[in-house]
Chain A
Amino acid sequence: MGKTISEKILGAHSGGDATAGEIVVAELDYMMAQDGTAPIAIRSFEGMEGEKVARPDRVSFCIDHSAPSPLRAVSQLHALMREFAGKQGIELCDVGEGVCHQLMLEKGHALPGSLVIGADSHTCTYGAVNTFATGVGSTDLAAGMLSGSLWFRVPETMKVTVTGKLPKGVFAKDVALMMVGQITADGATYRTLEIGGETIEGLGLDGRLTVSNLAVEMGAKAGLMEADDKVIDFFKHRTGVKIEAVSADRDARYVEEFEFNVAGLVPQVALPHRVDNVRAVEEVEGAPIAEGLIGTCTNGRLEDLRLAAAVLERGKVAAGVRLIVAPSSREVMLNALREGIIEVFIESGASVMNPGCASCVGTHQGVPGDGENVISTANRNFKGRMGNPEASIYLASPATVAASCLEGKIADPRRYL
């Protein structure tokens, strides 16, 4: 019987053969925690009576969720991270460097064929570059820091094939939201999604990362894709390590297979308060909005910013609307600056934040008011997510968010493209 990508990567890291359903102890290639999870990981590490991190060269802490710190108490937690990282000799990505997931890619820490854990559920994003990457809690991360390994149940795999040419105004985020709507919030629980097909192959790396980012919104453990030249090129100058991408065998076993044709897809939006409550934008057009967010680990990359700018060039942010833009990393922000995109944002009336998570998690940089609607490129719209349980969050593509901000109400981006 052939192997899935998950079986091959987990097998290669646990010294043998791995088959779905087995439990293996696997050596970790890289580990990451952010400012919402690293402090507990540090406490757990100390509780384990850990003294030295097993492989300091394989651990990174990122300060991105509440960065710069909006509160004295948060500043203390950031200080705890800096102190631990300094003492242990592990990498610390400080305020303003960017969203943890983008940094793990740009720094060449999450590589094709490698095994990565992150104390953040959207660690599954790196599946788009063929990394078996999965979110864990802080104490699992602490166990990884202490021993260099972690136990995994080898997941069953669901195969998702996406075909068809994307129509005008329809992007990777629309494909991802459609998938979440169809597969539902727990349709892939404990499983890996292997995502491929001509549409995925046609996407740039940024778009693929958006699709894998939403894997966890279907409950998936990982959202894996095969690595092609676009992936290999991305890492060319980012790592000295030889890239060894992993493909599934032709006779690999899949527990379920989905095929989606996107040739007739229209712009999608997830309605409050569920990510799988997905509709066509047309159905909710006209709903008033008070805030827009473009950025996050889902849609803060250069392709996303280009797309938003192409729409925003056509007008000004409507009166009474706040548009917040946060590039996903310093590299992305500098590239956007050089291309004149940041200028477009500022001239349209947007507030451009430092690279980081911005208002996605409700800790700073744009908490909505009572009764307000927000339209965001992020990946979660749970009640209270952005810091106010009396606000409602809609999720959409950067183009839809930009168009909605121009009109002050949910708008179809196709008239601006």
Chain B
Amino acid sequence: MTWYPLPWEDKQKPETLKGSTMIIKGKAHRFGDDVNTDYIISGRHKFKTLDMDELACHVMEDLDPHFCERLQKGDFIVAGRNFGCGSSREQAPLAVKHAGVAGVIAGSFARIYFRNSINSGLPALVCDTSEIEDGDVLEVDLEKGLIRNVSKGTETASSPLPPVMLEILSEGGLVEYMKKHGGFSSF
């Protein structure tokens, strides 16, 4: 029997994110606690389209109407606790990804969003984000799970993902994973 700690409860050395060797540098866009999926992408936009590029223009709109104008490809969303609480809409991580966000770094994630993010191939990193401020330049090593705050000269390790999520993320998402494996073996 293997016990997998919750990602935000484990303080061990992060596991390697297989297949991904990218180091991404981008700016932090800071949000608070309990950013729900209605704020990430509103129900009034998501219900009528499968075009994620169209939804991408509305990401975070009800919290910050100008977010998309300020966002540059490769930037990060940084938030507090319980990011992605609320509905099960997969349009939330998909629209964030299509908006060009390289990953979301949060103190903790709501469970459905967390699965959806990994399933969508959008990195979701869990660490203490209290020191990261809006506009800080971050350098994130996805392979090592390290978050370097270039502006502040600090470094934080993110909590490791369970192996099944690492495998899904390293395949680029659950669609690719299932295409390759057809199902889940035991873990």
Asked if A77 contacts B119 (CB within 8 A), the reply is no
How many Å lie between the Cα of A285 and that of B178 in the bound state?
53
Q: Name the residue of chain B whose CB is nearest to the CB of A156.
A: B6
Q: How many A-B residue pairs have CB under 8 A?
A: 169
Bound together, the chains give a CA A230 to CA B5 distance in angstroms of: 37
Tally chain B residues at the interface, Cβ within 8 Å.
53
Q: Which of B11-19, B36-44, B71-79 contacts A (4 or more CB under 8 A)?
A: B36-44
A128-151 interface (Cβ within 8 A of B): 135-140, 142-143, 146-147, 149-151
> Chain A residues with Cβ under 8 A from B89's Cβ?
36-37, 137
A384 with B42, Cβ < 8 A, contacts A121-B86, A136-B112, A137-B90 known: yes
Q: Is the interface of B mostly helix, strand, loop or mixed?
A: loop
Q: What CA separation (Å) do A146 and B183 show in the bound complex?
A: 8
| Segment among A1-9, A66-74, A201-209, A236-244 that sits at the interface with chain B | A66-74
> How many residues of A are counted as interface, with CB atoms below 8 angstroms from the partner's CB atoms?
62
Question: How far does the Cβ of B112 sit from chain A's closest Cβ, in whole Å?
Answer: 5
Q: How far is the CB of A409 from chain B (nearest CB, A)?
A: 26
Q: Once the chains bind, are A189 and B82 in contact (CB under 8 Å)?
A: yes
B56-67 CB mask vs A (1 if < 8 Å, else 0) is 000001110000
Contact A219 B38 (CB under 8 A): no
Within the assembled complex, what's the spacing in Å between the Cα atoms of A219 and B1?
A: 26
Is there an interface contact between A186 and B110, defined as CB atoms closer than 8 Å? yes
- Per the bound structure, the CA–CA distance linking A137 and B174 in Å amounts to 11
**Contact across chains for A140 and B174 when beta carbons are under 8 A apart:** yes
Residue A40 contacts which of B42, B50, B61 (CB distance < 8 angstroms)? Answer: B50
CB of B175 within 8 A of chain A?
Answer: yes
Interface pair A40/B90, CB less than 8 Å apart: yes
- Of chain A, the residue at the smallest CB distance from B87 is A121
The CA-CA distance from A256 to B36 in the complex, in Å, is: 25
Are B86 and A380 in contact, CB atoms less than 8 angstroms apart?
yes
Quick check: is A383 within 8 A (CB to CB) of the other chain?
A: yes
Given A121-B87, A135-B88 in contact, is the A23-B43 Cβ separation under 8 Å?
A: no
- Residues of chain B touching chain A, judged by Cβ–Cβ distance below 8 Å, are 1-6, 34, 36, 38-39, 42-44, 46-50, 61-63, 81-82, 85-91, 94, 108, 110-112, 115-116, 119-120, 162-164, 173-175, 178-179, 182-187
Can you spell out 19 A-B residue pairs with CB atoms less than 8 angstroms apart? A22-B1, A23-B2, A35-B47, A119-B88, A119-B90, A120-B87, A120-B88, A136-B115, A139-B90, A139-B175, A140-B116, A143-B174, A143-B184, A149-B184, A185-B34, A274-B34, A362-B44, A367-B44, A380-B38
